[in-house]
Every structure is written in C-alpha cells, then in structure tokens.
C-alpha cells in the first residue's frame, strides 16, 4: 500500500490524519489476519522514525525520505513525488523478484507513485481516491480554497492508469465515471467498515461520569479535523440558534468538539474558538468544550456518551465518524451529502439535513434532543445500521478486487 501524505501511524483527527488513516490501518490489519503480508509506504516526517516500523503482525510501515521532514504542506508534496517514487522502487529492488503482488494506492499523490511502480514491477495498480478535487470544488465551504488544477490533472492521470478503482459508495462510483470518465468495468464499490469490537455501546451514565459530563446533559458531539470542509462552525451556529429559541436548554447542553485543526483550518487555528466566543457559547457558563484528538478507544467512549453526533461536512466520500458513532448506539445528524447518504439511514439511524443553514440544523438537533421516542428509535436503528459495515467484509471484497485485477493483467500479457 502507498499512503504518501499521511502515515497510518498518525493520530486521526489532526493535521492530515483522518478517516483515510483509519481505512489503511484497518484494511491492512484484516488482510494480515488472512496471512497476507502488507507493506505501507509513507513519507517520513521526522528523523527519529525508524526506516521500517512493525505496526501489527504482518503489517509494516516503511518511512521514505522525500523532502524536509517538517514544514511541507500537502499542497507542496507534488514536488517530492520523484524522490518518493525513487525510494519506493529502491526498497522493492532489495527484495526477491516478484516480492509484491499488488499495489494499492490511497489518494491521488500515492496513485502517481503507484502508477510508476505498477509499470516497473508488472503488477496491477488498485487505487482508492478517498476524496476527489472536482467533487470538493463543487461543494466548497464558504471561505475554503478550491483544489488546484494540478491536482485535478493528477487525479485524471491516476484514474486512467489504475487497473481497478475502489469507490466507497455507489455515489462515488458514479462520480468517478461521470466526472473523471472512468471505465465503469474498472470501478468496484467496497464500503469501508467499523471496528465493532472498539465502537460498541457503553454504559452511558458511567461513561459520562468518567468524561466529566453531567448525567442528564444533552450532549451534541462533533468529532474530526477542524477545517471548513468538516463544517464544525455550522454546528456552533445551529447551537446558538437552538439556544436563542429554546433558552431553557442552556443549563443542560454540552457541545464537545473533539479534534484538531487541519488543512485550510491551520491558517486560522483559533477561528472556531473565536466563533464560539462571539456566539456566546464559550466562557464560564458556555456549552462548548474543546477536546484534543483522542485514540480510537477513547473516541468510542465520547461517541457512546453523546446524545447525538453531528456531521455537518460539505462533503464526505464515506463518513467514518457517522458509521462509528452509530456502532456505539448514538444517532447521527448529518449533512445529506456524499457517502453520508449511504451511512446514515434517514429517520431510522439518524437525521439527514439537506442544507447547511443553521436554522435547519437547529430544528434537526431540537427534534432529537426533545423527542424521547424519536431518540430511542434512532438509537436502536443506529446499532442496526452499523452492523452492515465491517472491516472483515471490506477486506474480503477488496481481496476480490485484487484477484480480478491480477487475473485481467495476466490475460492482457
């Protein structure tokens, strides 16, 4: 696997680490459990990192030196593709002939390197986009920066070069075909999964006590990278609207924001805290709590302690946060965009909101907070919906894609 711009060892929720990191780790783990050895190539971001780090039994992360260890943004990484590709090829050259059977690249930067490795090694390239520039630009958040034309061209090249493309959802498959002219015969839909051993229901009262949350609070949780694309500001504005029309809720409302700044959010890392203060949601009697990024087990506890989890993103290729939250039995209020329309069953495991208007979001939040019967139905539906997503099934389907790509490559030779 190639994951150039973000390491599977990084903590999700800050920097460029997010759902893709979880995807690579969980998929690699499940494949290793089936006896398949997995090497993950990623760019080294510290001189203290060992060249090869065993992540799990059968999975090792190879740190490739390409450019300065620190200070490079994702937008500057295309200049390091040649150096990264050279070191990937050099690493493979030290192995016996035919060491790798498949290259699976994640994100377009990795796909550029994967295409070169594919041609040199004579093995198929399977690519997962995770996000697409044309889609992001179509659903751009206010004040966010459009993806550059260089990325769009790079993505088009990867789509053309890949032997197989894995889409997270049927909608993503249609976008690959419609926006990038992908061959429909080379696109397969494989849903990501959820670790149901980690993300599971907890005793809510006990978990809230451990996290310092009031037992009777209405907890509206946001988890993820703090950047315009993820739209945590929409949640804060909706909460302000909710309190303006229902001031009696203030005494029992808690809004944890779990995560760190990322992407264009790094330009103004304090902007969300400033917005909370401007809206009167911060301070001694405020309702907002900022929580640094946490590991998977701790994140599961935050989900389980919440009344609902809000996912107001402008776009999501899948929406792992929504899937994980539902696995703990917590309903999700999400934007009706991208993969969220697949992950969240509207009216059964959560509510989908068609706009990013804070008034519409406030109305949806109010329904879940004030209607006990609805909330209980959604909690039961959330657990049921989460059972349809498992990493074991994801690994099985992905291996089928690998096998098909290998077979077709052999036929073509």
> Tell me: the pLDDT tens digits for 308-365?
999 999 999 899 999 999 999 999 999 999 999 999 999 999 999 999 999 999 999 9
Residue 11 counted as an annotated binding residue? yes
Residue 16 counted as an annotated binding residue? yes
Helix H or strand E segment including 133: helix 133-138
Residue 330 counted as an annotated binding residue? yes
Residue 314 counted as an annotated binding residue? no
pLDDT at 267: 41
> Tell me: the pLDDT tens digits for 73-123?
888 899 999 999 999 999 999 999 899 999 999 999 999 999 999 999 999
> Tell me: the pLDDT tens digits for 221-250?
999 989 898 999 999 999 999 999 999 999
Nearest Cα to Cα of residue 378 among 316, 302, 307:
307
Residue 315 counted as an annotated binding residue? no
Residue 316 counted as an annotated binding residue? yes
Q: Determine whether 89 is exposed, middle or buried from the number of CB atoms within 10 Å of its CB (0-12, 13-18, 19+).
A: middle
Residue 148 counted as an annotated binding residue? no
Residue 387 counted as an annotated binding residue? no
Give the DSSP letter string of 200-233.
----HHHHHHHHT--TT-EEEEEES-BSGGG-HH
Domains for the chain: give ranges and CATH numbers.
19-193+391-412 (3.40.50.2000), 204-386 (3.40.50.2000)
pLDDT at 91: 93
Report residue 53 as tokens.
Answer: 């780090």
What separation, in Å, do the N-terminal and C-terminal C-alpha atoms of the chain show?
A: 23
pLDDT at 321: 96
Distance CA 235, CA 272 (A): 11
Residue 131 counted as an annotated binding residue? yes
Residue 294 counted as an annotated binding residue? yes
Residue 359 counted as an annotated binding residue? no
Q: What's the angle, vertex CA 317, arms to CA 315 and CA 323, rounded to 5?
A: 100
Mean pLDDT, the chain, whole residue set: 93
Residue 310 counted as an annotated binding residue? no
Distance CA 335, CA 167 (A): 20
> Tell me: the pLDDT tens digits for 356-385?
999 999 999 999 999 999 999 999 999 999
**pTM for this entry:** 0.90
Which SS3 state, helix, strand or coil, does residue 333 take? Answer: strand
Q: Summarize the confidence of residues 261-274 as an average pLDDT.
A: 64
pLDDT at 155: 98
Residue 225 counted as an annotated binding residue? yes
Residue 21 counted as an annotated binding residue? yes
Q: Summarize the confidence of residues 62-82 as an average pLDDT.
A: 89
Q: Summarize the confidence of residues 167-184 as an average pLDDT.
A: 97
Residue 289 counted as an annotated binding residue? no
Residue 180 counted as an annotated binding residue? no
pLDDT at 239: 98
Distance CA 162, CA 115 (A): 7
Residue 303 counted as an annotated binding residue? yes
pLDDT at 261: 77
């Amino acid at each position: 696997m190639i994951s150039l711009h973000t390491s599977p060892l990084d903590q999700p929720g800050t920097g460029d680490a997010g759902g893709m990191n979880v995807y690579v780790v969980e998929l690699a783990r499940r494949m290793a459990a089936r006896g398949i050895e997995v090497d993950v190539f990623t760019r080294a971001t510290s001189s203290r990192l060992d060249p090869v780090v065993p992540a799990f039994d059968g999975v090792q992360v190879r740190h490739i030196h390409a450019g300065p260890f620190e200070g490079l943004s994702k937008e500057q990484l295309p200049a390091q593709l040649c150096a990264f590709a050279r070191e990937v090829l050099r690493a493979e050259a030290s192995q016996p002939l035919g060491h790798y059977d498949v290259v699976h690249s994640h994100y377009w930067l990795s796909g550029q390197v994967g295409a070169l490795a594919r041609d040199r090694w004579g093995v198929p390239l399977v690519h997962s986009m995770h996000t697409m520039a044309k889609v992001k630009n179509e659903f751009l958040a206010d004040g966010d920066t459009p993806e550059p034309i260089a990325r769009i061209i790079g993505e088009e090249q990867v789509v053309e070069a890949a032997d197989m493309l894995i889409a997270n959802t049927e909608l993503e498959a249609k976008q690959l075909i419609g926006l990038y002219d992908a061959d429909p015969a080379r696109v397969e839909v494989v849903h990501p999964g959820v670790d149901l051993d980690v993300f599971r229901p907890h005793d809510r009262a006990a978990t809230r006590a451990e996290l310092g949350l009031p037992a009777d609070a209405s907890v509206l949780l946001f988890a993820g990278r703090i950047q315009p694309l993820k739209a945590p500001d929409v949640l804060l504005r909706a909460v302000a609207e909710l309190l303006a029309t229902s001031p009696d809720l203030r005494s029992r409302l808690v809004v944890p924001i779990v995560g760190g700044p990322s992407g264009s959010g790094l330009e103004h890392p304090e902007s969300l805290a400033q917005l909370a203060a401007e809206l009167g949601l911060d301070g001694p009697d405020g309702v907002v709590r900022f929580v640094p990024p946490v590991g998977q087990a701790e994140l599961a506890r935050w989900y389980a302690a919440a009344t609902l989890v809000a996912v107001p993103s402008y776009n999501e290729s899948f929406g792992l946060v929504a899937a994980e939250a539902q696995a703990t039995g917590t309903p999700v209020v999400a934007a009706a965009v991208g993969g969220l329309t697949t992950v969240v069953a509207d009216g059964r495991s959560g509510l989908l909101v068609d706009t990013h208007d804070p008034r519409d979001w406030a109305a949806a939040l109010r329904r879940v907070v004030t209607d006990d019967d609805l909330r209980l139905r959604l909690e039961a539906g959330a657990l049921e919906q989460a059972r349809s997503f498992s990493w074991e099934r994801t690994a099985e389907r992905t291996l089928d894609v690998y096998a098909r790509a290998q077979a077709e490559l052999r036929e073509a030779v």
